[in-house]
Amino acid sequence: MLFLLLACSDPPPKKSLPPVVDSDSPPVESTPPVDTGPPDGTFSGTLTSSDGAYTATFAAWKAFTYGNSETSLVYLSANPEATCDALVGSLLSAADPSTLYGADDCNVVIQLGGTLPQDFVAGDSFTASIQLFCTFGGSGFVEDNGAWRWNGSWFVGTARTGSFHLENGATGITGTLDVTEVDGSFPYLDGVPSASFTGAVSGNVLGETCEGLGSHPIFTR
């Protein structure tokens, strides 16, 4: 049957000539390339727990910042869909933080007292902190009695070894950040087990001002 179908098929169509292009018509603009990664040189790297059970590969797609003469806040999100409104809703109204996080990623929060520019080395000052909030396993956040919890393992830690330089830039707070050792715990696991992470996470902080953060208690107290 296959032979008969081939034998009786119509002859192939003649090839058409290429269309005539009007030399006077404007050139067709090419579509700009789609972003496939975070900004070049941004804060990124990998942290691994001391027992090897957890590894977080981090890249700061977004950096939301706000500051005044007394305090500065920098929030680095690993989710390219993160927005200022989503961050403000999560921090101030207990809204779903799903668009701020990725799976097996860490978000970083820097809080700094005093005016900018300023340099900070972990352990040398009580006026600043570098905190990490990491998601491991699981697939998203679920609501639990009015609060949102990651449905895998949730880690909260503070940089034991790290440093940064921050200053006021044209669009927000900018600078550089480096983290190599983090101590913390898994607050929602039985016994709240402690954990330490090491690695090399460093790069630029490319901040954009998020005015809504100005209502955060650290700025209004």
Domain definitions of the chain by residue range: 41-220
- The Cβ-side half-sphere exposure at 167, using a 13 Å CA radius, reads 7
β 106-113/71-77 pair status:
antiparallel
Distance of CA 203 to the CA centre of its chain: 13
Pairwise CA distance, residues 45 & 64, whole Å: 19
| Helix H or strand E segment including 2 | helix 2-8
Q: Which residues in the chain land under pLDDT 70?
A: 1-36
pLDDT of residue 24: 58
Closest CA to 47 of 220, 219, 195: 195
pLDDT of residue 9: 39
pTM reported for the whole predicted model: 0.82
Pairwise CA distance, residues 175 & 166, whole Å: 4
> Are residues 160 and 182 in contact, defined by beta-carbon separation less than 8 angstroms?
yes
Pairwise CA distance, residues 149 & 137, whole Å: 13
